[in-house]
Structure 1
Amino acid sequence: MSDSRRWLWLAGLLFAGWLIYLISPILSPFLVAMLLAYLGDPLVDRLERAGLSRTWGVVAVFALFTALWLVLLVVLVPMLGKQLVKLYQMLPQMLDWLQHVALPWVQARFGLAEGFWRFDRLKTALSSHLDQTTDIVSVVLSQATASGLALLAWLGNLLLIPVVCFYLLRDWDLMMAKLQGLLPRSREQQVVGLAGECHEVLGAFIRGQLLVMLALGAIYAVGLMVVGLDLGLLIGVLAGLASIVPYMGFVVGFGSAIVAVLFQHGGFELYPMLGVMAVFGVGQALEGMLLTPLLVGDRIGLHPVAVIFAVLAGGQLFGFTGVLLALPVAAVIMVLLRHVHALYKRSDTYAAGAVVEPVTVIPSPPPDDPAS
């Protein structure tokens, strides 16, 4: 590639980044629709192989997604709302424990001055608002109606997602074929190979890890509710969401469950603690022996540190749009870095100055003398 062509590609990339930054406020529904279409395309392909047309396969997948959202809205959201209100009501007790138990221990342990942290005002403010928890919906509605145009724009974006997702799902294979047809003929095989590796990384992480998150969230929530933990559903859902980073869900969920047991029972209780340990032990065993090998397999996914950095960097640069773009961009960068690393190991720069070990040739023994 000539220098002028390299500068042209660099200018094109910079222009694309600048354009994404300008239109980022309207990109969110399209990116969410693309993510849903990417997740649903394998299901539609299987239905096609089973004999359904592409359109009817998309309709069937949409019916499945709609049923899941209805279950989420009708069953799960009200239960989570009740537990959030209960958690809000428990905050003064938590502040009392911090002020009278935890902080005196820290003060005695590290020799800090008395009253180095005061919770009186915060506890009073929270207690004064506890009677207003039933008015949360009215406050939200009043704030929403105060900015009616923003509410209408949000609803419009929400309704736009299924429409865009439907057309993307229906024409997904056609669009991929057209994009492949636009590639330079000399580079088509190389670009398709790189795209296939990016697809493997994204598929291993997004499809596989999301299914692992859902399964772990269900296991933790059901197990903690069976144990009798009042906030079991909320903690299970949080642990499932945190499982996007391996082992993070276990740390967040187990720590939160232990604290919830302490506050619910007013101290250390053996059997609830053992129940919490059993729930998270079973969850970790199922994740390591069944869920991850079955749903993710041995495909190479993104490193946990790369996931955390990508999500935080995308959110800092482009907001919610950046969060949605973070993982695909990280997958592409990871694949490109892997190939750059392989090229570097084969380059003269890497091999320059290498000491070549002399090869010792062992002489073969002389042949036997037939005369002897």
Structure 2
Amino acid sequence: MRRQGWIVAILAAIGLWFFISIEPVLMPFFVSMVLAYLGDPLADRLEERGLSRRLAVSVVFLLLILVISLSLVLVIPVLGRQLGQFIESIPAILGWVQSTVVPHVRSATGLDLSTDFDQMRQTLVDNWKETGTLAATLLAKVSKSGMALVAMIGNLALIPVVTFYLLLDWDDLVAKVRSVLPRRWEPTVARLAAECDEVLSSFLRGQLIVMLCLGVIYAIGLTLLGVRFGLLIGLLSGLASIVPYLGVIVGISVAGLVAFFQSGELWMLVGVAAVFGFGQFVESIVLQPKLLGDKIGLHPVAVIFAVLAGGQLFGFTGVLLALPVAAMVMVVLRYLHDRYKNSSLYDAERSVSDEESP
């Protein structure tokens, strides 16, 4: 038994080393896995209605392509334009803070922040300039390097191809993985996999829909209110909602500052609060009960740590894998916790009493 455990540990270490070694080429495959996982339930439902697997996958695949294409055509250009306008307005915002906010702080607290703010303002402006220069330099290098450009295009082109074939054979792949498990481990692994799937489906499918709905509500509300960069702030606030309450805190702070800087009128701040209040109302009354319930179990601190740790260790691929891996680790830790609570290490007296009982 101990020898088998060592063999499993060594194989796991070799597998981890292998994946770390080929990390640069894994991104399109992991993106495809996420898309296939999200689309498989819809394909299964279409199969139940009488469609063949290939036809059901084709319908789901076309829907995914349509949603992504509409996002790229309609949303990305507007976001890029608003982001550029926001970057250009940073010096004016900093100047307004220096001329308006800093004197009020000095009169209220006696602290003179003008010198420190001058240095901070100059540092921020310089960093924005350096960021633009770095981006231009990187773009120029990628454009000049034919191999890098071909590799980037190839990775992007792989995503729809791999997604289609993973969707097509998803159920068969799951069945084959289950069939090769050791028979003694198979029931436990299958039960843990079912729990992982429940958590992942609730978090990935449910939380993504919640984030998207909140982003749309915030973006439409701020845009109708006339707040500059409303689409950008709204969608980023929806994205930040992956951590409970972070999206509304960040969004209402940034949108409130932009609205006040834009008009200086109190009713704009009331309107911003009303937009985010309506979003929170919809989330608590409709989105959370219908889409998430109480199945997630991921603490907000665990979500933040998982995303930061995944990005630090494996870059963009790590960010993609952070939350699914965190959800699976949580399920395994819960299983190990239950095993520990029932072991003699936790309660030696209960173990002795069990042995003494006939």
**Normalised by the size of structure 2, how large is the TM-score?**
0.89
Partner of 2:92: 93
In 1, the alpha carbon distance for the partners of 2:90 and 2:113 equals: 25
Residue aligned with 2:345, SS: helix
- Report how far residue 117 of structure 1 moved: 3.8
Partner of 1:345: 341
Asked whether the equivalents of residues 47 and 57 of structure 1 are also in contact (C-alpha less than 8 Å), the reply is: yes
1 or 2, which has the higher helix percentage? 2
Distance 1:35 1:107, change over 3 A: same
1:192 aligns with 2:211: no
Asked whether the equivalents of residues 205 and 301 of structure 1 are also in contact (C-alpha less than 8 Å), the reply is: no
State the aligned residue count.
346
Aligned match for 2:179, one of 178, 181, 197: 181
Deviations 1:121-178 (A, max 9, x none): 4587699x7xxx9x99988864542233212111100000000000000000011111
What percentage of aligned pairs have identical amino acids? 50
Partner of 1:324: 320
Cα RMSD after superposing both structures: 2.5
Partner of 1:370: none
**Normalised by the size of structure 1, how large is the TM-score?**
0.86
Deviations 1:153-207 (A, max 9, x none): 1110000000000000000001111111111122211110010001111111111
Counterpart amino acid of 1:244?
I
Partner of 1:366: none
Counterpart amino acid of 2:257?
V
1:262 aligns with 2:257: no
Partner of 1:28: 27
Deviations 1:311-336 (A, max 9, x none): 11111112122222222221221111
Deviations 1:226-252 (A, max 9, x none): 111121111101001101111111111
In 2, the alpha carbon distance for the partners of 1:206 and 1:229 equals: 31
Counterpart amino acid of 2:309?
A
In 1, the alpha carbon distance for the partners of 2:321 and 2:139 equals: 31
Asked whether the equivalents of residues 220 and 280 of structure 1 are also in contact (C-alpha less than 8 Å), the reply is: yes
In 2, the alpha carbon distance for the partners of 1:124 and 1:327 equals: 34
Asked whether the equivalents of residues 98 and 114 of structure 2 are also in contact (C-alpha less than 8 Å), the reply is: no
1:71 aligns with 2:70: yes
Asked whether the equivalents of residues 204 and 301 of structure 1 are also in contact (C-alpha less than 8 Å), the reply is: no
Partner of 1:118: 118
Asked whether the equivalents of residues 83 and 231 of structure 1 are also in contact (C-alpha less than 8 Å), the reply is: yes
Deviations 1:194-229 (A, max 9, x none): 100011111111110000000000000011111111
Segment of structure 1 superposing worse, 291-300 or 239-248 = 291-300
Q: Which structure 2 segments of 5+ residues have no match?
A: 351-358
Partner of 2:60: 61
Counterpart amino acid of 1:235?
I
In 2, the alpha carbon distance for the partners of 1:350 and 1:136 equals: 56
In 1, the alpha carbon distance for the partners of 2:295 and 2:22 equals: 34
Distance 1:286 1:156, change over 3 A: same
Partner of 1:153: 151
Distance 1:97 1:305, change over 3 A: same
- Report how far residue 106 of structure 1 moved: 4.8
- Report how far residue 293 of structure 1 moved: 0.9
Distance 1:20 1:186, change over 3 A: same
- Report how far residue 116 of structure 1 moved: 2.8
Residue aligned with 1:118, SS: helix
In 2, the alpha carbon distance for the partners of 1:136 and 1:48 equals: 50
Distance 1:121 1:60, change over 3 A: same
1:335 aligns with 2:331: yes
Residue aligned with 1:263, SS: helix
Partner of 2:289: 293
Asked whether the equivalents of residues 260 and 266 of structure 2 are also in contact (C-alpha less than 8 Å), the reply is: no
